Structure 1
């Protein structure tokens, strides 16, 4: 096999590979010899088929197998050159049928070209120069009690009362929503239960229930938020025809063992323990993400090199497709995000380049540190991913992952990355700083994630703008 480099520009490489006809013939002869004692041809005893007859019957198909075998083993060419391709090399060979026929007949050399980009060599620097401040927040007893009350509120009982509804009361009602006098999809319900003050509905809806009593009928006027998830309702003024069926007042909520048992726990202390753990985990995730962000920013400053263009293009397409899908789902445009498509493309191109470059750096760090993702970790992550799908699809999705190496690589990547971050946290200078909740959550668009989730019935929470959402991924999901 003769390998000639025909292009070496930056990270781009192109090779011309020639396998002489005599070498192709030697491989074919070996295959024919191996098959001689195995094939069954009419009129010949096993192992007695003449070589020339065997060649006439199987020669071209065996030679095609030789060609495929050579093409499948191009990695050995790169290994011999000491190169790591960024993606699978592109293979080009003759499309002329006559030339291809000569190769299969053993009358011509087999020639093809390989074009690819190499992963640039990365010389790791000392991590001792990286210094970060890790913000740490200690969950207070008051927060635990507040959250315990929210959790326990699902076990609260209500007692029907006479008279007008007040803040905290539960109102059972029928409602019909209209815009410009026309009912809209999803705007009607019967026997809906609303606890005034829980902010389950559009802003202004619950407040107008105060003062109503059983049997009352009225009309409530509200406005959907400008960034409401359903584009056809966003920013629209609506009227809800209301019929109150029942008003109930809340009974006193006591946090005791009996309340905990209604929630499936053995005691109030166990309830508080679980709630504290959940809060510490939620705030701990914010702490980790902010620390990780500082590490990635430091690495971004420390390692400046050309990233393989094909990887950047692929990453950009992933980001861009997500951004445009989010915009379409929200019924918004780039102008609504105070930018233009051209400016957005430039921004996300830079983001893609950064993510690819940092991905290569983290990969190199992990390889040098011998970071491993175990089979059990992969299995747990795979199961967690599959659980996001409907039960009837889970087996099919499981088989897809098991048979698709690239899909499994996508499962492994975030696990590997977090392990590399763990490794770096042990190598760099980390100073812990006790901060308040507000300081920890400052400038964090996911602050709502650290708060107790509220059930949304009529008004989903406002989504982060696509531009901000993608920027967030830059910090938390390189």
Structure 2
């Protein structure tokens, strides 16, 4: 196949490829010869059908396949000889759209080449790892939060009115058109006011009730209520208030510890300390990774494929727009134009992405099947009850698999670089570490 360069500007490349009619015909005949031993037609034994007859009967059928194979082969040979890799799928189209059998095939191919990535002396990189340990104050604070989340309710002083957030213990009977309905009654039912666990408007009417009081609560069932015979109907609940209780944090003792799976209070404190240390280590790693990327960004400079930067800038702008407009769930909104700030961030991301990919390839960093399976399982937990469907979706979707693989690969490359860099450790406090994390989120 004859290949002629038509564009070489920066990273942009363009080529015209001509597949002669004879080359294409030879390719068709090769495919027919390959299939000949397995073909049988009326009047001919299997494998004895003449090639001329095969071409007449099946030539058109294999023509497109032969053309595609010829183009694919020419592209592979081109990239191998040039030593180039396309930044994205090349744009390939037939130039002579009025082509007919017997004509040469003219193909136009355009792409952006990946740039040459400069070498980086990874051992010259200096980093500082922040080290924070959970102290007794942090453990006690976390323990207090646990106690608050496991709150109890204690009786209010006699005659006290129920407030939002209180718990009322009551008997109630619900009626529609004066008749009690199934499932509408209960005794000694504990209801936290403000929990929105009852029909809309129910809990608000109990604010202000006292122990011993009887209260008729009138509400309307929602139009889409699951019980069709009640949907949209007005109901009256006759409530007898038996207790009014105020929320109170659970007592910090062995009983609280056992609620959270520990044998005793000391065991729970140990668990909390270990969890906090893990959180601090994760935060420290995030800071270290950002500092490493900053250092790498300073050390390299090379031309970037314009289409990659443009696509990344649009994605950044689109995501930030949704962050600022959380009520808009779909994508049927005006197109979001990237700003100079978006373009600058996109250039950094593309540059670092290409550099990390190059470093990972040279270091032969691989993402194992076990790591991919774990990533899929972690993601699948976000879809309770639909885990199997999610697994099948990932299996059939190469783009989704790449999205799951990319962050694993990046983290492994970061670990590889950190091992080669000169890393010192600096003790810090939880507050200072949190401040570092906040500064990352602002960037």
Residue aligning to 1:411: 404
Q: CA deviation digits over 1:190-242, x for unaligned, max 9? A: 943479xxxxxxxxxxxxxxxx88479xxxxxxxxxxxxxxxxxxxxxxxxxx
Q: Deviations over 1:245-268 (max 9, x none)?
A: 723363761322x33222233333
Match 1:253 to one of 237, 251, 267:
251
Q: Normalised by the size of structure 1, how large is the TM-score?
A: 0.71
Distance 2:249 2:122 in 1: 58
Query: Residues 318-344 of structure 1: CA distance to partner in whole angstroms, max 9, x if unpaired?
Result: 21221222222258xxxxxxxxx87x6
Aligned-partner Cα distance in 2 for 1:316–1:297: 19
Q: Match for residue 436 of structure 1?
A: 429
Alignment partner of 2:299 out of 283, 297, 302: 302
1:80 equivalent to 2:81? Answer yes
Residues 75-128 of structure 1: CA deviation (Å, up to 9, x unaligned): 33212211011111110213523x1x22xxxx2222212111111111212123
Distance 1:265 1:72, change over 3 A: farther
* Cα shift at 1:426: 1.4
Choose from 97, 108, 112 the match for 1:113: 108
1:288 paired to 2:282: no
Tell me by how many angstroms 1:18 deviates.
Answer: 2.0
Partner of 1:9: 9
Shift of 1:353: 1.2
The equivalent residue for 2:345 is 351
In 1: Cα distance, 2:284 partner to 2:160 partner:
42
Aligned mates of 1:43, 1:355 — CA distance in 2: 66
User: Retained in 2: the 8 A contact 1:128–1:429?
Assistant: yes
Q: Structure 2: how far apart are the matches of 1:126 and 1:163?
A: 76
| Equivalent position SS for 2:364 | coil
Aligned residue for 1:369?
363
Q: Which residue of 1 aligns with 2:261?
A: 264
By how many angstroms is 1:419 displaced? 0.9
| Larger deviation, residues 80-89 vs 62-71 | 62-71
Q: Is the 8 A contact 1:259 1:268 kept in 2?
A: yes
Structure 2 distance, partners of 1:311, 1:165, is: 66
Q: Secondary structure at the match of 2:395?
A: helix
Seen in structure 2, the aligned counterparts of structure 1 residues 355 and 173 have a Cα distance that, compared at 3 Å, is farther
Say what the alpha-carbon RMSD is for the aligned residues. 3.2
How far apart are the structure 1 equivalents of 2:158 and 2:247? Answer: 10
- Preserved CA contact (<8 Å) 2:19 2:106: yes
1:39-118 equivalence runs, <5 A: 39-73=39-73, 74-94=75-95, 96-97=97-98, 99=99, 101-102=100-101, 107-118=102-113
Q: Quote the Cα distance in structure 2 between the aligned partners of 1:266 and 1:70.
A: 70
C-alpha deviation, 1:428, in angstroms: 1.6
Alpha-carbon distance change, 173 to 78 in structure 1, aligned in 2, over 3 angstroms: farther
Structure 1 position 402 matched with structure 2 position 375: no
1:201-280 equivalence runs, <5 A: 214=210, 246-248=244-246, 250=248, 253-256=251-254, 258-280=255-277
Native 8 Å contact 1:173 1:191 kept in 2? yes
- Matches of 1:346 and 1:425, distance apart in 2: 32
* Deviation beyond 6 Å, 4+ runs, structure 1: none
- What is the SS of the residue equivalent to 2:326? helix
Is 1:148–1:275's contact at 8 Å kept on the other side of the alignment? yes
Choose the corresponding residue for 2:124, options 119, 125, 129: 129
Instruction: Mark the CA change 1:251 to 1:135 in structure 2 (over 3 Å): closer, same or farther.
Output: closer
1:165 Cα offset (Å): 7.5
Q: Distance in 2 between matches of 1:47 and 1:23?
A: 25
Q: Which residue of 2 aligns with 1:338?
A: none
TM-score (norm. length: structure 2):
0.76
Higher Cα Rg, which structure:
2
CA distance in 2, matches of 1:281, 1:214: 47
Measure, in 1, the Cα distance between the counterparts of 2:385 and 2:78.
Answer: 45
Distance change in 2, residues 1:390/1:43 (3 Å)? farther
Deviation at 1:155, TM superposition (A): 4.2
Q: Given that residues 169 and 248 in structure 1 are in contact (C-alpha distance below 8 angstroms), is that contact kept between their aligned partners in structure 2?
A: no
Shift of 1:51: 2.1
Report the secondary structure of 1:246's partner residue: strand
* CA shift for structure 1 position 154: 4.3
Cα distance, 1:472–1:306 mapped onto 2, change above 3 Å: farther
Q: How far 1:420 moved relative to its partner?
A: 1.1
Contact 1:315 1:352 in 2 (8 A): yes
Tell me which residue corresponds to 1:198: none
Shift of 1:7: 1.2
- What stretches of structure 1 of length at least 5 have no aligned partner? 175-189, 196-211, 217-243, 332-340, 447-470
